[in-house]
Amino acid sequence: MVEETAKVIRVLDKALVVETKRLSACQTCSSRDGCGQKKLTSLWGNRVSELLIDNPSGLEAQPGQQVVIGLNEQAILKASLLLYLLPLSLMIVTAMLSYSQGVSEGWMIIMSFAGLMIGFVIARWVSSVFFELADYQPVLLRLSL
């Protein structure tokens, strides 16, 4: 279970609305002072997101309180594979198919790009169906001290 600290915004019947702050990996990196990636990350800043979190244990949380939320690691792995691997795989397959058909290099680039875009569309459709499942939703684990 991947855990993250969040602040409670609202308490609902069996759920909470929490606010999380997205931090980049640069915060903990030992090379952050000499890295260009940190400079790029600082342009967009740390974003704040509001999430609706299930409270299956019925923990008594109050607005303004810090809580620990979690998400299943397998869900993160499956989502990453779907969102990254599927579009790239379709791009490679369309490039290989267009090459085997003997099309020109320009058309091969266009078809590869089309395969990538089709992969993104399929990944979005599949994610909208599967990510509604309980395994892909973060849950309240415990109250933070």
Q: What is the pLDDT along the chain (145 residues), one digit of tens a residue?
A: 888 888 899 888 888 888 887 655 555 666 666 666 666 566 655 667 788 888 777 788 888 899 888 888 888 888 888 899 999 999 999 999 999 999 999 999 999 999 999 999 999 999 888 777 777 788 888 887 6
Query: For the chain, how big is the Rg over CA atoms in Å?
Result: 21
pTM of the model: 0.65
Range of 19's domain? 2-143
User: What domain count does the chain have?
Assistant: 1
For the domain that residue 64 is a member of, what is the CATH number?
A: 2.40.50.140
Element (H, E) at 143: strand 139-143
Q: Residue 49 CA to chain centroid, in angstroms?
A: 12
